[in-house]
Amino acid sequence: MFGMNKQKKKVFVAMSGGVDSSVSVALLKKEGYDVTGVFMKVWQPDFLECERGDDRLDAMRAAAHIGIPFLTFDFEKEYKEEVIDYMISEYKKGRTPNPDVMCNKTIKFGAFLKKAKDMGADMIATGHYARTEEGIDGQYKLLTGIDLNKDQSYFLWTLTQDQLNRTLFPVGIYNKPEVRELARKFELPNAERKESQGLCFVGKMDMKEFLKHYIKEKRGDVVNEKGEIIGHHDGVFFLTIGQRHGFTITKKTPHDKPYYIVGKDIGKNIITVSHKKIEESAAKEVVLQDVNWVSGNSPNTNKTYMARTRYRQPLQKVRYKIQDTPDTRAKLGAGQARYKILFENGQEAVTPGQSLVLYSGEECLGGGIIV
């Protein structure tokens, strides 16, 4: 079913307590894999209400019902240093990071995969809505999930050939309603559990309130496109291009249209806002850094691809080219070349720090961080 000889293959499955990962375990067990469920304990801020105890209990109950061993891996240090500290650092630089991408890169397919291998696992599995496919040349492709409304390949663009070679995505071939029905069929104790949302492992939270514990508020000006001061805000670090809330307009009338953030000056702590619809001042090109190509090789620059700059954004036609000269690339080092992405149509709210991910049909080719 999942494209490999499953007999006696030992698989560690990341169990969050949710339906998707629990169904993944049940499917793998049914297919004959030697399955172990693993709950990952990560750093939690002491100023936020923690629900992770319930998550672990739900995961443990599902594992017991299915009849598999259950382990807990402690990645508190790794998560704080690699995900939370990275996120705070990016916001301090005025960028808007995607911590879920970094969580996948450093925790689920980093620390978890390494520890699983060290403990004798042949493979790991997660509840992501994505698929893998091995070509006749031995190269692995990362494909979108069958359910395009749930497809999570956008968050997986950092994966490498070695990681794909050792990863299974059991629910990627199903639609979400089918997964929910499978949970009922397997009589899982968490079959009716609601979907989790928010930051990877931490859950839903007010990002500004979180960041205020690490970044001091600093009152700054809000200016219009003419440079006139029309309001104030609590700090440029907390705000994102395209945002229409989080700042105060003092010079306004009852008939004013909404204002959108169209510019940020980090040094002066100023944001520029406009009544214009975002698409009227949309970006036609962006530069990417920290680029990863899943195959290990960059795609053909002469072709047109599809891309998205945020999760669930409709795919957009793009072309790309290498931004740096050969001399610059040599100085930057292997894998550090920057790429210029050219959009066929202007893109609204393109935000530095976010991920741009490229596709060719249903294949996720890779991506990078928007500069």
Does an H or E element contain 31, and which? helix 19-31
Q: How far apart are CA 106 and CA 204, in angstroms?
A: 21
Does an H or E element contain 180, and which? helix 176-185
Q: How far apart are CA 87 and CA 54, in angstroms?
A: 25
Question: Hey, is 305 helix, strand or coil?
Answer: strand
For every residue of 198-246, DSSP letters joined together read SBTTTBS--HHHHHTTTS----EEEE-TT--EEEEES-GGG--TT--SS
Q: Report phi then psi at 29, rounded to 5.
A: -60, -45
Sign, CA torsion 196/200/206/209: positive
Cα Rg, the chain, nearest whole Å: 22
Is 50 designated active site? Answer: no
> What is the arrangement of strands in the sheet containing 10-14, beginning at the earlier edge strand?
70-74, 34-41, 10-14, 123-125, 167-168
Contacts with 330 (C-beta within 8 Å, 6 or more apart), sequence order? none
Question: Hey, is 194 helix, strand or coil?
Answer: coil
285 close to 306: Cβ distance less than 8 angstroms? no
CB atoms within 10 A of CB 259: 22
Please identify which of the residues 200, 202, 273, 337 carries the catalytic annotation: 200
Q: How far apart are CA 337 and CA 51, in angstroms?
A: 41
- Phi-psi label, residue 17: left if phi above 0, alpha if psi -120 to 50, beta otherwise: left
Please identify which of the residues 23, 59, 63, 103 carries the catalytic annotation: 103
- What is the set of active-site residues? 103, 200
